[in-house]
Structures are given as C-alpha cells and as structure tokens.
Structure 1
C-alpha cells in the first residue's frame, strides 16, 4: 500500500461491506491464486465457502512463497490446513482459538478475533 493510497485487497468470494473509503476489493478466483495472478494487491482474503478447496495441496506453495499476506476468513481449521501439502481441510485440527481471521505471511501465522467472539455487523 502506498502511503495515503488505497488498500487493495484481492478477495476470493463476495467482498464484505466496509465503512472505510480507502479500501478497494479486487475479485479473484482460486484459479488466479494458483496462477499467482494477484500481484497488484496488498493482501488476499479467502471467504469461508472456498476454504476446503483453498486448502488443496496445489495452493500450499503459493501461500508459503507469497509476497503478500493470505487471510482465511472464518476458518474452523488451523492455518496448517493451508500450508501443509499432506493435510486436507477436513483432516486438519479444529481451531480452538476462536479467531475470525487466520493469516499466513513470511513464514508466520496470525489470528484475529472479533470482539467477544460475536459475529455481528458491528464487530465485523
């Protein structure tokens, strides 16, 4: 993101409604992710409905080598489901942290939870 510029987020799935004027969502497919066609974004978000497919082995190297963070929205599984080629989404451990967003970038993972773990318009 350029200082004072828009935050450009690639998103697989429907973009959320946000109050901020400086956030622009760019629609992506998982095919775009596989082909690494997301170079002009500051991060990539993947919506919940796409997570089982996004955890397929063919995407793991993309996440591991990406120059931008990948954020997995409302995943029931731990981050390893996405970066371990041997692990499917279904077989991965269920996350006990209660994070709404889990992310992976530069060999580090992170999680963000909602206020009081409540999924409402106000907390998102």
Structure 2
C-alpha cells in the first residue's frame, strides 16, 4: 500500500486490501464484504434494512403462548427482575430529599402569598 505523509495507508491505492488489517462492521457495510469463494462482494444488512425479520428476544414467536397463569408468573418474575435493577435511595437520602421538597414548597407558598397580598393592596389602592 502507498504511504501518506502522515504514515497512514491510502485504501485502494494499489487495488488490494491488507488481510492483516482488521475490518470494522461499518467498513463492511460501506464497502461490502468479500465472499468466501473469491472476488465477489455482498452488502451486509444493517439494522434499518427492510425485509429482514425482527429477531425475537427469547426465541418465542408469539408472546401470548401459554396459559394465563403462566403468563402472570412470567410477568411477575420480570417485574421482580426489573425492581432488582433499581437504585433504591438510602434512608438518609430520602430524608434529605423530603426536607428539600418541603423547604421549596414553603418558599413557593410564601412567595405566592406575598404576591397575593401585594396585588390585593394594589387593587384596593387603584379601585378603592
């Protein structure tokens, strides 16, 4: 391959790709992937290609298979699995968050109350 001034190879300068150089998935999609039989190329399908079926997550073709009891048990197992992933706050964090919310609400109630009294005095001063 030919060398640039920066020491980088120019792809396709001599018409052959370096087999020791790794090819990324994006590169295969752009250029096409070489077929095992030789020189023909094929386009590697990407996520957005139409016509390709969406792969199922657990191999089932229909999510409504099974009895109602089995589906309910599976649902509850999945709920428990998701709840295990949740970051639960500590008792101290809950106390701090609660105090912050209460202080903010007290501030807003005071602000709105003062604005209400101010507008009331202004209204009586103008319309009497």
The alignment's TM-score, normalised by the length of structure 1, stands at 0.21
- Per residue, is there more helix in 1 or in 2? 2
Decide which structure has the larger Cα Rg and report it: 2
Q: Which is bigger in relative contact order (C-alpha 8 A, separation at least 6)? A: 1
